[in-house]
C-alpha cells in the first residue's frame, strides 16, 4: 500500500510540495486513509504493527517525497505514544478515529530553550479547578503544525509540592483555546513539513488528556518516542538514498542506450562508484531493519542499533546523493533535477534531533553500560 501511494500520489506531488513550500495534503490524505492506523493496536481498530513496519513504510514513502514521509512518520510516532498507555477515553477519542483514517496527530516536543535535549521540557503543566490541566510554554519545529487534529506534548509539572524535574506527556486537541501558532519555518530542505512554533498561553485541557501517569515523560521518550522517531527518520532517509541510487543508475542506463560503446556506463571508475553506492545503501538498509527487529524483541543490541541506524542513514543519504550528482553531471545539477531536492532534504537528517553526533555518543555509552543522559 505504501509503495502504491508513493508512486501514484506522492511522487507526482513531490516537486510541487518542495517548490511551493506547501504541506502535502493529497499525500497525507491518502496515507492517513489507508495506513493511518498502522501502529494502532488491533483492539482499537488499527493494524497493530510496530517499528519494522514504520521503517518499511518510511522507506517506501521516502523514495518519493521525504517531506511527506516525515509528516506521516510524525503521525505514526504520535499514535504510538498515545497507544502506549492508552486509557479507554484515549482509545475512544484518539486511537479509534486514527485507525479509521479520520484523525491526524503529531509530536510537539522540541522547545526554543532546550536545543537537542528535547527530553527536558520547560513547558509548565499545572492542575487547576475541575480536574483540568493548564499548559504554559512554547514548542518549536512542530511538524504538521496547523494541520494535525491533536498534538502530543511534553511538559514539566509545576506547583506547590511538585518534585523538580517531574516531566509528563499530554495530548492536546487542535481546537483547544490558548494555542497560538508562529510563522511557517522556511527550510533549506524538507520544505513541505509545515514546521512552526507553538505558544501555549494557559491552554486548558481535561485531566484525562494526561498520557500515563505524572512523571512518565522520560519513560515515553526512551521506550516509545525515540525508537519510533528514529525508525521513522531512518526509513525516510533510507528511501531517499535508494531513490538517489536509482536516479544515478537510470541516468547511466539512458546514456548507455544513446551512446553504445562510448557511454559513461562502460567506464570502470563509474562502475566502481555505482557499486560502492549500492553496497552503502544495502548495508544501511540491513542495519535499519535489524535495529527495528531487535527493538521489537527487546534484544540486547536494540539501543546501539537504533541510535546507529539513524546516524548511518544520515551519512548514507548525504553521500549517496552527492555520488549520484557526480555520476549525473550537469543534468543532475540542474534545478529541475530531483537530485536537487534530494540533496537539500538529505542534509536535514543530520540536524533533526537526536543529531548524528549525539547518536554516536549514545551508541558508545550503551556499549559501555553508561547512562545516556550523563555529561
Q: Give percent of the chain above pLDDT 90.
A: 85
Q: Is the pLDDT of residue 351 over 70?
A: yes
Are 255 and 244 a contacting pair, CB within 8 Å? no
Max intra-chain CA distance, the chain: 80
- pLDDT, tens digit, 9 for 90 and up, residues 4-26: 999 999 999 999 999 999 999 99
At 242, which helix (H) or strand (E)? helix 226-258
Instruction: Encode pLDDT of 268-293 as tens digits.
Output: 999 999 999 999 999 999 999 999 99
| Confidence category of residue 161, pLDDT binned at 50, 70, 90 | low
**What confidence tier does 160 reach under pLDDT thresholds 50, 70, 90?**
low
Which cell numbers in the block locate residue 30? Answer: 491518502
- Neighbouring C-alpha atoms within 13 Å toward the C-beta of 16: 10
The answer to whether 55 and 227 have CB atoms below 8 angstroms apart is no
DSSP secondary structure of 122-135: --EEEEETTTEEEE
C-alpha cell at 94: 484518539
User: Given pLDDT bands bounded at 50, 70 and 90, which one contains residue 200?
Assistant: very high
* CB of 329 closer than 8 Å to CB of 339: no
- The pLDDT mean for the chain works out to 94
Quick check: 74 and 164 in contact, CB under 8 A?
A: no
Contact 35, 100 (CB under 8 A): no
Say yes or no to pLDDT of 205 above 90.
yes
User: Is the pLDDT assigned to residue 104 strictly greater than 60?
Assistant: yes
Which whole number is the average pLDDT over 62-82? 98
Q: What is the pLDDT of residues 86-100, one digit of tens each?
A: 999 999 999 999 999
Q: Which tens digit of pLDDT belongs to each residue from 21-41?
A: 999 999 999 999 999 999 999
Which residues of the chain form beta strands (DSSP E)?
Answer: 105-108, 124-128, 132-142, 150-157, 167-173, 179-184, 196-206, 210-211
Amino acid at each position: 500500500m505504501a509503495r502504491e501511494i508513493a508512486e501514484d500520489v506522492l511522487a507526482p506531488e513531490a516537486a510541487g510540495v518542495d517548490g511551493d513550500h506547501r504541506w502535502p495534503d493529497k499525500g497525507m490524505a491518502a496515507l492517513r486513509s489507508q495506513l493511518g492506523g498502522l501502529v494502532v493496536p488491533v483492539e482499537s481498530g488499527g493494524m497493530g504493527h510496530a517499528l519494522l513496519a514504520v521503517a518499511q513504510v518510511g522507506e517506501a514513502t521516502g523514495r518519493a517525497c521525504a517531506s511527506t514521509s516525515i509528516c506521516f512518520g510524525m503521525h505514526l510516532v504520535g499514535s504510538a505514544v498515545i497507544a502506549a498507555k492508552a486509557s479507554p477515553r484515549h482509545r475512544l477519542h484518539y486511537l479509534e478515529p486514527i485507525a479509521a483514517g479520520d484523525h491526524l496527530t503529531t509530536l510537539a516536543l522540541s522547545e526554543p530553550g532546550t536545543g537537542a535535549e528535547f527530553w527536558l521540557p520547560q513547558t509548565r503543566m499545572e492542575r487547576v479547578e475541575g480536574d483540568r490541566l493548564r499548559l504554559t510554554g512554547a514548542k518549536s519545529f512542530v511538524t504538521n503544525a496547523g494541520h494535525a487534529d491533536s498534538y502530543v506534548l511534553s511538559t514539566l509539572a509545576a506547583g506547590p509540592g511538585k518534585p523538580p524535574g517531574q516531566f509528563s506527556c499530554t495530548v492536546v486537541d487542535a481546537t483547544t483555546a490558548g494555542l497560538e501558532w508562529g510563522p511557517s519555518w522556511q527550510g533549506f530542505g524538507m520544505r513541505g513539513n509545515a514546521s512552526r512554533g507553538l505558544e501555549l498561553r494557559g491552554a486548558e485541557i481535561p485531566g484525562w488528556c494526561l498520557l500515563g501517569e505524572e512523571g512518565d515523560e522520560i519513560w515515553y521518550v526512551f521506550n516509545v518516542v525515540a525508537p519510533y522517531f528514529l525508525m521513522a527518520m531512518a526509513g525516510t532517509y533510507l528511501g531517499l538514498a535508494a531513490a538517489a541510487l536509482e536516479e544515478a543508475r537510470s541516468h547511466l542506463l539512458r546514456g548507455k542506450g544513446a551512446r553504445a560503446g562510448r557511454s559513461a556506463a562502460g567506464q570502470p571508475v563509474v562502475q566502481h562508484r555505482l557499486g560502492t553506492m549500492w553496497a552503502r545503501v544495502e548495508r544501511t538498509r540491513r542495519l535499519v531493519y535489524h535495529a527495528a527487529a531487535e527493538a521489537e524483541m527487546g534484544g540486547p543490541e536494540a539501543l546501539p542499533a537504533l541510535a546507529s541506524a539513524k546516524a548511518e542513514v544520515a551519512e548514507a543519504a548525504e553521500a549517496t546523493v552527492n555520488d549520484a550528482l557526480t555520476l549525473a553531471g550537469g543534468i543532475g545539477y540542474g534545478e529541475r533535477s530531483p537530485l536537487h531536492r534530494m540533496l537539500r532534504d538529505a542534509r536535514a537528517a543530520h540536524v533533526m534531533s537526536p543529531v548524528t553526533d549525539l547518536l554516536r555518543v549514545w551508541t558508545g555509552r550503551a556499549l559501555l553500560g553508561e547512562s545516556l543522559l550523563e555529561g
